[in-house]
Structure 1
Amino acid sequence: MKKLKPLGLILFSFIISLTAYSQSENAEGKSSADLAKQLANPNATLGQMLFPIDYIRYNGEVDNAAQNGYVLNFQPSLPFPISEGINLYLRPLIPIYLSQPVIGDNGFESKGGLGNISADLAIGKTWPSKWITLVGVFAGFRTASNEALKSRQNTLGPEMMIAKLTNFGAVGFIASHAFGVGNLSDADPSTTTILPDDFWVASDGTANTSVTAGQYFYTINLSNGWQINATPTYAYNHRAESGNKLTLPLGTGFQKVVLFGKVPVRFGAQYWYYIASPDTFGPQHHFRVTVAPVIPLPW
């Protein structure tokens, strides 16, 4: 039962977010199309409870590298308005690995449980030119419930975003750098999970974590609240061996805001194809389904 607690917490948060609107008006009576356009703004003052669900198909040069991974994520986004066009963000990301391939002594195994929680704290500003900038800090924590799922170190580093609101929607780019903080874990990197934030470390396992990562994103507004969008994530592991440093997908997808009475919910689906992935073992295909209730800010 202990392994189900994080999943139960996520499901409880989902139910709470769906019922929050029972005590409030539907985003000031806006239509689904209006809400979709507002949500395309990465500095919008709308609260969301994001539930991205991932299926990842792995491949590589190691034996039996064709593996499948399934991850349920929870990421609440509740911006705190400071002044007109300036917002403060604290956004934790809580992954639940339903099934993650792990390289062990006897080949691949499948592990599950709470993953490594990360969070960013940042301030975003929308300028009169419709450019948006964001600066902050990003941190990752070794919180995984299974030792095989833990990252090698806690991490901390700077984060920035540049985005542009356009006539068709929005486009932008996020970058952060994770420096290893504290002692390295004693785990042998050749016998532990190869996670998206640490695909392949130096063969001797002695170097501190140093990963530049982020995402690019775009949204194209269509009619009736439909949008073409994608938010692919990339990573460059400076400590990895040659051929295993860069992870870069091309992605596209669609999303739509649907009103359930007073409750707006954003549904989306994306596909990412990796044009660069660690040679030894890394992702090849990535399917993501997102369910994101839009909730009133508590302040």
Structure 2
Amino acid sequence: MIARAFQNFAIAGLVSSIPLPAFAQDADLAKQLSNPVASLISVPFQFNYDRGFGPDDGHRMTVNIQPVIPFSLNEDWNVISRTIVPVISQSDVAGDSGNQFGLGDTVQSFFFSPKQPGPDGLIWGVGPVFLLPTGTDELLGSEKWGVGPTAVALKQEGPWTVGALANHIWSVAGDHNREDVSSTFLQPFLTYTTDDAWTFALNTESTYDWKGDQWSVPINFQVSKVVKFGEQPVSFQAGARYWAVAPDNGPEGWGLRASITFLFPK
């Protein structure tokens, strides 16, 4: 009996010691992905499909390349670089406008963020955001240079992450024949991460165009999972979005989103 008890104890100890650390590490990476200013290098490739543009039911496919790179300034502060470079393929988004393929405008943000959470676990970051006119077609970009402030604040407690990211961009230079840019971006978000690294996320990526006096409000729901290929952690994500509000001739109805994110933890 003593031998059997020892054997059962040894087997239970062996089983519990193998998978739990791996699950814990993957879940921790998944939670860091829910934090826009986490000290984690990540390179997402995000695919979006939207339809219903203009009178000819135009459509757009966008792959956003979004590297996030944190840099340590000193013992107390990080600066996090977040870049969004869109690669776009679209058809009849402005009436009978034909097909376009190429780069859209790049959005570059820098967040200065404390390394340790503040009172009540508040995580935050502030900094500048820049609009770079990298569009390769007049229907793919604004042909304007822009700048403005950006900020993010969130709290993580248990499996939950709740927060919001915002910025505002004003155009400061560029083609004088194109309309100026004055745009506010608001992204409240809520995520739930399980112990085995599944994440369920709900957010909006709302934009208010102050020049056109128009809102764009897509509501996104996504499910993601962190897995490892050898030593390389990767997050896979899939979901849908619904355009609750869109500008005149903008997208409507349901769209799709899928992404793959390569993670490089320190």
Give the structure 2 partner of residue 108 of structure 1.
Answer: 97
Indicate conservation of the 8 Å contact 1:230/1:254, yes or no: no
Q: Does 1:294 align with 2:230?
A: no
- SS for the counterpart of 1:43 is coil
User: 2: distance between equivalents of 1:261 and 1:268?
Assistant: 19
Q: 2:160 aligns with which of 139, 164, 169?
A: 169
When the two structures are superposed, what TM-score results if normalisation uses the length of structure 1? Answer: 0.74
Aligned residue for 1:221? 193
RMSD value, Cα: 2.2
Larger radius of gyration: 2
1:132 alignment counterpart: 123
Q: Give distance in 2, aligned partners of 1:292 and 1:275.
A: 27
- Give the equivalent residue in structure 1 for 2:177: 186
Q: Which residue of 2 aligns with 1:68?
A: 59
Contact 1:58 1:285 (8 Å CA) reproduced: no
Partner of 1:234: 206
Is the aligned partner of 1:121 residue 2:110?
yes
Which of 188, 205, 209 does residue 181 from structure 2 map onto? 209
Q: Is the 8 A contact 2:242 2:253 kept in 1?
A: yes
**Which structure is richer in relative contact order (CA contacts within 8 A, separation 6 or more)?**
1
Rounded to whole Å, the distance in 2 between the matches of 1:171 and 1:101 is 37
**How far is 1:154 from its partner?**
1.4
> How do 1:85-100 residues align onto structure 2 when only pairs under 5 Å count?
86-100=77-91
The letter for the 2-side match of 1:266 is S
2:5 corresponds in structure 1 to none
Listed as ranges, the matches of 1:240-251 within 5 Å are 240-241=212-213, 245-251=214-220
- Once the two structures are superposed, residues 245-297 of structure 1 have per-residue CA deviations (whole angstroms, 9 ceiling, x without a partner) of 01112221111100111000011112121211113333433311110010145
TM-score under structure 2 length normalisation: 0.83
Matched, 1:34 2:28: yes
1:94 aligned counterpart, secondary structure: strand
Query: Displacement, 1:134?
Result: 1.2
Tell me the percent identity: 27
3-state secondary structure, aligned to 1:33: helix
- Distance, in Å, in 1 between the alignment partners of 2:85 and 2:48 is 13
2:233 aligns with: 264
Whether the aligned pair in 2 keeps the contact of 1:53 and 1:72 (CA below 8 Å) is yes
User: Residues of 2 paired with 1:118 and 1:142: CA distance?
Assistant: 9
Q: Is the 8 A contact 2:224 2:237 kept in 1?
A: yes
2:44 to 50, 57, 63: 50
- Post-superposition shift, 1:84? 5.6
Give the conservation status (yes or no) of the 8 Å contact 2:135–2:143.
no
5+ unaligned residues in a row in structure 1: which ranges?
1-27, 188-204
Residues 85 and 251 of structure 1: is their aligned pair in 2 closer, same or farther, counting only changes over 3 Å? farther
CA distance in 2, matches of 1:148, 1:280: 13
1:152 and 1:209 in contact (8 A); partners too? no
In the aligned structure 2, how far is the partner of 1:91 from the partner of 1:83?
19
For structure 2, which runs of at least 5 residues remain unmatched after alignment? 1-20
Q: Is the 8 A contact 2:72 2:79 kept in 1?
A: yes
Equivalent pairs counted in the alignment come to: 243
**Hey, which of these two has a bigger chunk of strand by percent?**
2
| Shift in Å, 1:235 | 0.3
The corresponding residue for 1:155 is 146
